[in-house]
Structure 1
Amino acid sequence: MNTLLVTGTSTDVGKTVVTAALTALARAEGLAVAVCKPAQTGVAPGEPGDLAEVRRLAGPVPTLELARYPEPLAPDTAARRCGAPLLTLDETATAVGGLDAELTVVEGAGGLLVRVGEFTLLDLARELDAPVLVVAAAGLGTLNHTELTIRALDAAGVRCAGVVIGAWPAEPDLASLCNREDLPRLTGVPIVGAVPAGVGAWDHDRFTAAVPGWFAPGWSPRLPFNSDSPPSTWGFDTSQSGT
């Protein structure tokens, strides 16, 4: 079984839609895929959460949510505030490893060092010996946030599967266009995908049909970026629109 963890450079950068896109891409390659969201926050019991959105966009796949907290806070903070036990690294790693799939995609909460419970997504990546895909914003601030995230991965000895821009604007400004060129140069990690802003509102058929065009040719969620390869920027279509 291959496992791929998805983190963001911050919150609200498009992790869930990227997770859905990765799932759809892997399914198109014929892989049996499962998706895990260890901790969901800001969603009441019985309400649809991020995994429901992944299934709506990518199609019916096995999903696993280990904990849910009603307040929209970091998972460990939300757990403490409602008196719930914190997730442990061992139980989470065991649950992920128990999913019967050729590829398991694990979506984190917020950024790499956000406490999912008694641990961070970085800790989970080390425990599972799994690569991490970094979802980044397009505009101002993303150079610093993305490089900090990738440096943290490097320092921990965790492989980076690449960078995906989580919401590429229909009309990118100068900062976004410059960042597209500068991110691979500054981080040493290629941009392997760019998901157009707004596609989370699409229906399943439209979403899955478009997914292959959002990722670099030849890149697969089951084949992480090889750091021995020179970083490069691929020519994704800057005219793509999620409208």
Structure 2
Amino acid sequence: MSAPPTRASPWLDPRRVAALPRVVLVTGTDTDVGKTWTVAALAAALARLGRSVAVHKPVQTGVGPDEPGDAATVLRLVERFGAGAGSVVVGEGQRLTEPMAPRPAAALDRVGLLPLEAHAERVAELALRHDHVLVEGSGGLLVELDEDRRTLADLALLLREQGQPDSGVVVVVRAGLGTLNHTELTLEALAARGLDALGTVLGAWPAEPTPVERGNRAHLAELAVPLLGALPSGGTGQRTSAP
């Protein structure tokens, strides 16, 4: 793929990015849809507005102890986007070696998952010291993140219960066939829990979109939940093919 622009802002609606709340949870309609790519683009765009940004990955799977994970990828991309070294702070809650959902990965590693409260506490701490905290989920919205089978949606509810009402969820979606159903299902799950869907992002927009992909983008732009932007294809498979 060609090198990306040095700024992430052309890909995202700057007005909507500027209006994002203090805590933004980023989920996807599936795995490998471009969540890390999206987190980096959002972080860079916010940092370029002069905002202080922290990124928290509750559970990182599929990497060894000394391998770079999604947090490292975010930091590298933010700098590539021209936001400046040190403008974004990144971190993980827990790391697991198997490339699968957190609960089965933890079982294979023979460790227990951190409780959701530990992640909520870390996000709250970061929110006290930064203008924005971006929280990257694992896979989709309802992937289980702790031993009590709680999810990113539950983390969003827990943060609100603990006094962090200024928050919402960004949903990263695919461009191709099937994305409309998966997007609507995710948005419906958020609405059923009373959670604020801040917008959708196309996580891998192709250089030469098909009629199906163009039609999907037009449909997404007509939803009540705004389309925040479309990132160029190449940012999925973050640890291997991201620029």
3-state DSSP class of the match of 1:62?
strand
1:40 aligns with 2:60: yes
3-state DSSP class of the match of 1:79?
helix
1:151 aligns with 2:171: no
Q: Is the 2:203–2:236 contact (alpha carbons within 8 Å) kept by the matching residues of 1?
A: no
1:127 Cα shift?
Answer: 1.3
Q: Is the 1:35–1:63 contact (alpha carbons within 8 Å) kept by the matching residues of 2?
A: yes
The residue correspondences of 1:80-229 to structure 2 (distance < 5 A) are: 80-99=107-126, 100-117=129-146, 118=148, 119-129=150-160, 130-185=167-222, 187-198=223-234
CA distance in 2, matches of 1:192, 1:26: 13
1:176 Cα shift?
Answer: 0.4
Deviations 1:66-110 (A, max 9, x none): 111100010111112211111212111001111121100000000
1:113 Cα shift?
Answer: 0.1
CA distance in 2, matches of 1:193, 1:116: 28
CA-atom RMSD in angstroms: 1.8
Q: Is the 2:123–2:133 contact (alpha carbons within 8 Å) kept by the matching residues of 1?
A: yes
1:198 Cα shift?
Answer: 2.0
Aligned amino acid, residue 178 of structure 2: G
1:5 Cα shift?
Answer: 0.3
Deviations 1:174-229 (A, max 9, x none): 110000111244x421211100112579xxxxxxxxxxxxxxxxxxxxxxxxxxxx
Q: Is the 1:136–1:164 contact (alpha carbons within 8 Å) kept by the matching residues of 2?
A: yes
The residue correspondences of 1:223-238 to structure 2 (distance < 5 A) are: none
Q: Is the 2:204–2:236 contact (alpha carbons within 8 Å) kept by the matching residues of 1?
A: no
User: Between the two proteins, what is the percent identity of the paired residues?
Assistant: 50
CA distance in 2, matches of 1:178, 1:28: 32
Change (3 A) 1:151 1:184: farther
The residue correspondences of 1:20-31 to structure 2 (distance < 5 A) are: 20-31=40-51
| Larger RCO: 1 or 2 (CA < 8 Å, sep 6+) | 2
For residue 51 of structure 1, what is the aligned residue in structure 2? 71
Deviations 1:31-60 (A, max 9, x none): 010000010000000100000000001133
Number of aligned pairs? 202
Change (3 A) 1:123 1:93: same
The residue correspondences of 1:42-81 to structure 2 (distance < 5 A) are: 42-59=62-79, 60=86, 61-81=88-108
CA distance in 2, matches of 1:6, 1:45: 24
Q: Is the 1:41–1:72 contact (alpha carbons within 8 Å) kept by the matching residues of 2?
A: yes
Structure 1 residues not aligned, in runs of 5+: 202-241
The residue correspondences of 1:10-25 to structure 2 (distance < 5 A) are: 10-25=30-45
Structure 2 residues not aligned, in runs of 5+: 1-20, 80-85, 161-166
3-state DSSP class of the match of 2:114?
coil
TM-score by length of 2: 0.79
TM-score by length of 1: 0.79
For residue 205 of structure 1, what is the aligned residue in structure 2? none
Q: Is the 2:116–2:145 contact (alpha carbons within 8 Å) kept by the matching residues of 1?
A: no
Q: Is the 1:80–1:86 contact (alpha carbons within 8 Å) kept by the matching residues of 2?
A: no
